[in-house]
């Protein structure tokens, strides 16, 4: 996955099972624009207001990995 100067490399294992709790947290500049883009592509966006210092949401990739996207409140 690549966006501008950021690259994230992911691999898949034959017996892979996504972690139930562990996940990366990714800081983004325009959280609302990203949420809109993901939703427009058919990805469910779940907003979470339980971390007062940040606005954030969670989404899942196509193999079930939980991803957290956030920006300072």
Round the average pLDDT of the chain to a whole number and report it. 90
* Listed residue (22, 21, 31) closest to 55, CA to CA: 31
Gap between the Cα atoms of 38 and 7, Å rounded: 18
The model's confidence at residue 4, banded by pLDDT at 50, 70 and 90, is confident
pTM above 0.75, yes or no: yes
Give the residue carrying structure tokens 């809109």. 36
By CB atoms closer than 10 A (0-12, 13-18, 19+), residue 56 is buried
Question: Cα–chain-centroid distance for residue 11?
Answer: 17
Per the CB < 8 A criterion, the answer to whether 70 and 25 are in contact is yes
CATH 3.30.720.110 correct for 23-73: yes
Domain ranges of the chain: 23-73
What's the pLDDT score for residue 64?
A: 85
């Amino acid at each position: 996955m690549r966006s501008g100067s950021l690259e994230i490399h992911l691999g898949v294992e034959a017996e892979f099972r996504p972690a139930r709790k562990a996940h990366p947290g990714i800081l983004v500049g325009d959280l609302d624009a990203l949420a809109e883009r993901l939703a427009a592509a058919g990805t469910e966006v779940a907003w979470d207001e339980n971390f007062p210092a940040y606005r954030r949401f969670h989404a899942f990739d196509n193999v079930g990995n939980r991803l957290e996207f956030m920006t300072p409140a």
